[in-house]
Structure formats: structure tokens, C-alpha cells
């Protein structure tokens, strides 16, 4: 059975304090790993898709990396507007998506 865990559950950073969020997964044949951002009261917003170990993608202050067992979302010099819940999801060959519980990020000014 596909499983996705995320750590930490919540993270509080000072503005400019870089850190990383972790997504660990077990899946029977990874078709893709997805990162989403979710703001309160809104649906998740797509950030990245990663397909294979060693792949990296960047968008503004965010960089996602992928290994065979986990993915990291690195946040460089975060700003208060980066505060959100970050969700990780995996897709298996059957096109089933499994989401992790998310990491709640707060960036304080």
C-alpha cells in the first residue's frame, strides 16, 4: 500500500531563516512525486512534479529534490508570504494519488 509521511508536522521560521521540509514515501512504482502549497480556506496549489531520483526543480525561493525514498522541499531565505501548508503526494502506475498530511509552515517577520 502506498504511504506518504511528512515531517515536521509544523515548522516556525524567522524571515530569512532557510530550512527543509521532508516527504518520505513508499510506493509500488513511482510515477511522479508532487508538491503543493495550501493556504487556509483554499484548495492546494500545484508547485512541482518530480519523476526520478536525482531530479531537482526550483521556483523562486523553493527547491524540490527527490531520492528513491524521500523528497525535500528546501526553502531559502523565506518570507512571511511563504507561510502555508505544504503537501506532498505520490502517484503510482495505477494513477492513484496518495497525499501526505502536510507540513504547516509559519514564517515570522
Residues forming contacts to other proteins in the complex (CB under 8 A) are: 4, 31-32, 34, 36, 41-49, 51, 87, 89, 91, 95-102
Nearer Cβ to other proteins (61/104): 104
Give the shortest CB-85-to-other proteins separation in angstroms: 10
Give the shortest CB-17-to-other proteins separation in angstroms: 25
Task: State the Cα–Cα distance between residues 73 and 86, nearest whole angstrom.
Answer: 9
> Quick check: 103 and 86 in contact, CB under 8 A?
yes
Q: What one-character DSSP code corresponds to residue 16?
A: T
Terminal-to-terminal C-alpha distance of the chain: 41
Nearer Cβ to other proteins (16/94): 94
Report how many helices (DSSP H) and strands (DSSP E) the chain contains, helices first.
0, 11
Give the shortest CB-33-to-other proteins separation in angstroms: 11
> Quick check: 10 and 83 in contact, CB under 8 A?
no
Nearer Cβ to other proteins (75/87): 87
Give the shortest CB-7-to-other proteins separation in angstroms: 13
Amino acid at each position: 500500500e502506498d504511504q506518504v509521511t511528512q515531517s515536521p508536522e509544523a515548522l516556525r521560521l524567522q524571515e530569512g531563516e532557510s530550512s527543509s521540509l521532508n516527504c518520505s514515501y513508499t510506493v509500488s512504482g513511482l510515477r511522479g512525486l508532487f508538491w503543493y502549497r495550501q493556504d487556509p480556506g483554499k484548495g492546494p496549489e500545484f508547485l512541482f512534479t518530480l519523476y526520478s531520483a536525482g531530479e531537482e526543480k526550483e521556483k523562486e525561493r523553493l527547491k524540490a529534490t527527490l531520492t528513491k525514498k524521500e523528497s525535500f522541499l528546501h526553502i531559502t531565505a523565506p518570507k512571511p508570504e511563504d507561510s502555508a501548508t505544504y503537501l506532498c503526494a505520490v502517484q503510482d502506475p495505477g494513477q492513484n494519488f496518495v497525499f501526505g498530511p502536510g507540513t504547516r509552515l509559519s514564517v515570522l517577520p
